[in-house]
Amino acid sequence: MAQSKREKRRISGWLILDKPFDMTSTQAVGKVRWLFGAAKAGHAGTLDPLATGILPIALGEATKAVPNVQDGEKCYRFAITWGTSTTTDDAEGEVLETSDHRATREQLETILPQFTGDVVQVPPVYSAIKVSGERAYDLARAGEKVALSARTVEISSLELISHSDSETVLEAHCGKGTYVRALARDIAEHLGTRGHVGSLRRTAVGGFSEARAVTMDQLEAASREERDAMLETVSSALTDVPEVRLYGDQVTAVRHGNPVLLMGAGAPVMLEEAWASFAGEVVAIGAVEAGRFQPRRVFNL
């Protein structure tokens, strides 16, 4: 007799995974979804297989807040390995060029301000950017020539942690769409040498940091109850978004997609984005216009 399919759970929340080395983000989501038996799961910001660190994984209704986390600032600690550039701009690729030139710490400190603020960078050829409907890395692996357009990204800070002739460790706080591999490549070229990312760790995404991160080993060793206790609330993804509180019949109206007039002397009149709550739970994400909350994404918790 065929074994029945594992029943999917309607469970919602955020699992702040400390992604291990040599695992894709898609594989990580699949493993977490299976461990929780969740009906739905997704992640908020891809990490390369060779990168480790914070990968926020949304279960159930939390997937509706994924865009809010993706738009949040990220923090990366990474090492530039000096002397070689690679096809992938990291340690996985084949060597393209070599250089014996090494920059001093002072030279590095001098040019780092040029890589903060609004920075123009060309993404790595081996990236998930789509070209004519295909992923750039798929085209590159197939031997096709890929030309990606330059884009402007925001890097709010870039701190030098350590420096030697073999590698330099930096910490970057940056916005959505920033490629650390491109940053390392461009810094090396600006210094008249070659380099690639030797190691990369993401330490924060939006309001999620290492403080509440869980390893895959911890997840696998935990009971179902222990795993459930590791989840953050759905609303934990909305710390940077203003909250408006609903009362009584307003909740039903918003859950049906209808706008409601906000009550109270301190009620906001205009907000480009806000989240509506009832009894501490998120009901919807939307905007406030002329004192009325208009839902855009409704949560069924």
β-sheet bridge partners, residue 202: 53, 76
Closest C-alpha among 27, 15, 43 to residue 232: 15
Q: What is the DSSP string of 45-67?
A: S---TT-EEEEEEEEGGGGGGHH
From residue 11, how far is each of 35, 44, 178, 233 by CA, in Å?
Answer: 12, 18, 32, 11
Query: 18, 22, 48, 100: which one is catalytic?
Result: 48
d(CA 257, CA 148): 40
d(CA 231, CA 198): 32
Taken in order 62, 68, 73, 79, the sign of the CA dihedral is positive
48 belongs to the catalytic site: yes
Give the active site residues. 48
